[in-house]
Each structure stands twice: as structure tokens, then as C-alpha cells.
Amino acid sequence: MPDEELTTALRAAQQGDAAGFATLWRSLHPNVLRYLRVLAGDHAEDAASETWLHVIRDLHRFEGTAGEFRGWLFRIARHRGIDEKRRVSRTREAAAPPTGAAPDAAVQAAEDASTAWALSMIAALPVDQAEAVMLRVVAGLDVATTADILGKKPGAVRIATMRGLRRLATHPQIRTRQGV
Amino acid sequence: MRAFHALQRALRTRRHRRINRDQADRIAATHPPGTDHPGLAALLEAARAPATREELAGEQEMVAAFVAHRKNAARSARRHRTARIRAALVPATAGLALLILAGTAAAARTGNLPQEAQQHAHRLFSALGVPAPRTGTPAPPGPSRPGPRPSTSPTLDVTVLGWCDAWNATPGRTLSAGDRRKLSDAAGGEEDIEKYCRDLHRSASAAPSPTATQEPSTTPVAPSTSPTVSPRPSSGSPSAPPTGAAPATPTPTATQGSYP
């Protein structure tokens, strides 16, 4: 969705318009959820809900463009994802660690499965590379915003993105799976 | 040697195919990664694919949460506004009330209130610990009060009684010059002040007004009693009877026998 439309929806939502908020959610939630799948695995859904509840609570205080809103949203998502992972690992210490692939991937339709497969591949990267690839490539954030969210220097973000993409490009499973 | 060249060529090709930082930036900026890396391109396209139905399943729920929060926020904002107004109004009202009360007390103390109000104020504030005016300036004897009041007036002049008290305590000291002049005017001369005050006190105690009993009288009320009224015989006093110091001395009751 172009930023102008997103800004309109953002302003409407800030005025309390439910339709504006719905537009915002529809256009941004999928990428938030995908980023959280990479970051928090099975807890992505919970973390995404927490993220949006946080947004709802603080939306009236937000000042900025749609691009800045995107950055704000993913920063909240990152914190909620890390929180959720920590909380669950505390309460379920004995449980088996979550596998890279989402468990419900098998029951999803073919196109969903390819997305799930792609996310599981990215999730297998070192976490800083995985986050950089998700925020830069999937969420479409610029280097400065990504660096701000990850608490890194822009140069470090560029390198992490490059290394992540390189590693993915040379992954045997990815090289053989052309034209998914 | 040929094998070495082949290896070099292979390495160069490989290095050429490796993604560098600029390429990574281009890939990130949604440019297709090119034909060099078809596997990566496919993967990224899959990761960026349009939203699935599952991913959008929670819309109703989240919009409902949004609406509910807005309602709550509006309600609490209203509550906050009311609380703010109340928070501002209560101190203002209290301050105003305090100001009025303090002003009235000050006016009562200096004796600037009208006669009726003055008496009421004294009754009220003496209970709160504000003393009756002693050195204050009374309302000047204006046209409403022609000349000094006769001492036999049934309505007690509290202000003049206050002057009398001050005069009796330390003659010519506590009273301000203006009040002293007014008192001596009322008595008809400075030497007559004592008698004037005595008469005034007598009429005050005779009057049914409740203020009469409230005024602390330091002068003897009944003129028939001895000039030095000692309600209790002190042990060192030479006037005390030497034998059998009876607690109830047969002295004439000076103040209606109110003490034990």
C-alpha cells in the first residue's frame, strides 16, 4: 500500500475511526506476523496480538508519517517478540525447543506453505542476519530505521543483510528449489 | 598450470556471483535479485507474498479491541476532565471561604463591624480563640450614634467594655491614644473613667445579654463589697482568721457565688 493511503488510514485511526485502523492492520499485520515468526517462532501470534494492543493503546500519542509508523510498529513487535519468547521459555523450560518450521505449515495451502518454508529458511540464519533480512527485505524498512530498531549502526545492518542474503543464496536447499 | 588457471577462473566467477553490500541493498529495495540467484529470488518472493487468509483472520477481533479501547479512553477522558475541574474548584472555594472568614475575624477584632454583627462575631470567634478587641479602634461615633452612649444603655457596648478592661489592666498603657481619648470622652473626663467603667460593668452584668457573663470582669461587680476582693483566703494573708480556716469564709459573695 502506498504511504499516502497509509497516512490517511493512520490519521483516521488516530481520530478513532475503526475503518482506518482496519486498513492499517490489514496492510501491516501480515509482515509483522512474518517477522515475528522468524523472531519468536510459535509465539508469533501472541506477540503480534500484544504488539497491536500496544499500538491501540498508544496510537493517540503517536506523531509522524506512515513510514515512521512502520518503524514504530516493528520496534514494538521486536520487543513483544523477545518478551514473549522469554516468557514462554521461562514457563516451559522442560518443553522441546520450537523447530524452525511452523507446525501448522503442513496443513496450509501450497502458497502458504512456500511462504512458511521461506520464513523457516530465514529463521535458520543467525538471529542478527535473520532480523536484518526480515526488516529490510520483507518489511521493506530502510537502513536507518532498521538500524534504529535493532540498535545497530547502519553499516552493521547493511553487512548483516548482505551476509544473510549470501548465506541464503548459497544454501543447497534454496539453490535447488528454483521457481517455487 | 592449466588446472591452476581453471581454479582461479572458478574462484573469480564465484566471487563475482557473491552478493556484495550494494547488491544486498538493491535486493532489499524490492528489486528482483536477478537471474544470478534464482533460488534466493524465489525465497524472497515467497517471504514477501501477499497476505494469506490465515494471516488476516484476526481482523475482527483486533478492530473490536480498538473500538473498545476508544470507548474506554473517551470515558476516562471525561472522568479526568471532571476531576480536573473539581481539583481546581475545591481549593478556590476553600480559599474564598477562608478569606471571608479571616476578613470578618479581622474586622471583628478591630471592632469595625456594625454593632449587631460585632456582638455576633465576638460570640463566634471567642469560641475559636480570637480575643475580643482590646486595643482596636471602634467605629467612630458617627451620626447614627449621636454622642457617647449613656452608660445606662440596656444594650451593652462591648467595645467600650473592652477599653475598660484594657484601662483597668494597666491604666494609660495598653490603650492606644485614640481609644483612650474616646474612653475619657465617653466617661466625661479621664479621672471619671474608673467610675464610668464600674457603672458600665454593673449595667452589663444586670443586663440579660449573654455577652455580659462572657466578658471577663476584672473589676468587682457589686460596689458594696470590699475594694480588694479575695475569693480565697490565702494562708499568708494577715487578714485571714487565725483559727480553723474554714473554706467557706463568710465574705459577701462577690460574683454571685459561682466558685466552690
Cα B70 vs. chain centroid, distance in angstroms? Answer: 40
The predicted pLDDT at position B66 comes to: 95
Place A7 in a pLDDT band, splitting at 50, 70 and 90.
Answer: very high
Q: What whole-number distance in Å separates Cα of residue A125 and Cα of residue A167? A: 8
Please count the residue pairs, one from chain A and one from chain B, whose beta carbons lie less than 8 angstroms apart: 125
The predicted pLDDT at position A49 comes to: 94
The predicted pLDDT at position B129 comes to: 67
The predicted pLDDT at position B197 comes to: 79
**Taking CA atoms, what residue in B is nearest to A142?**
B29
Q: CA of B71, closest CA in chain A: separation in Å?
A: 9
pLDDT digit string, tens, across residues A89-144: 777 654 444 444 444 444 445 666 889 999 999 999 999 999 999 999 999 999 99
The predicted pLDDT at position B205 comes to: 72
* Chain A residues 10-69 within an 8 A CB cutoff of chain B: 13, 16, 18, 21-22, 25-26, 29-30, 33-34, 45, 49, 52-53, 56-57, 60
E-only strand ranges, B113-189: none
The predicted pLDDT at position B249 comes to: 44
Q: Is residue B125 part of a domain?
A: yes
Q: Is residue B174 part of a domain?
A: yes
Q: Is residue B9 part of a domain?
A: no
Q: Is residue B72 part of a domain?
A: no
Pairwise CB contact (< 8 Å): B25 & A159 = no
- C-alpha cell of residue B51: 497476505
The predicted pLDDT at position B16 comes to: 53
Q: Give the 3-state secondary structure of residue B84.
A: helix
Low-confidence residues in chain B, pLDDT < 50: 135-136, 142, 145, 147, 150-155, 209-260
Q: What whole-number distance in Å separates Cα of residue B128 and Cα of residue B108? A: 13
Q: Give the 3-state secondary structure of residue A99.
A: coil
- C-alpha cell of residue A25: 492492520
Architecture of domain A1-95: Orthogonal Bundle (1.10)
Q: CA of B14, closest CA in chain A: separation in Å?
A: 11
Cα A21 vs. chain centroid, distance in angstroms? Answer: 19
**Enclosing domain of residue B196:** 115-214
The predicted pLDDT at position B165 comes to: 78
Q: Is residue B172 part of a domain?
A: yes
Q: CA of A90, closest CA in chain B: separation in Å?
A: 27
Mean of pLDDT over chain A: 86
Q: Is residue B154 part of a domain?
A: yes
- Local structure of residue A42 (DSSP, 8 states): G
∠ CA(B100), CA(B104), CA(B106), 5° rounding? 115
Q: Is residue B46 part of a domain?
A: no
Architecture of domain A107-180: Orthogonal Bundle (1.10)
**Taking CA atoms, what residue in A is nearest to B35?**
A178
- C-alpha cell of residue B248: 467557706
Q: Domain total for chain B?
A: 1
Q: What whole-number distance in Å separates Cα of residue B246 and Cα of residue B251? A: 11
Q: Where in chain A are the domains? A: 1-95, 107-180
Other beta carbons within 10 Å of A144: 11
Pairwise CB contact (< 8 Å): A18 & B19 = no
Q: DSSP string of A139-162?
A: S---HHHHHHHHT--HHHHHHHHH
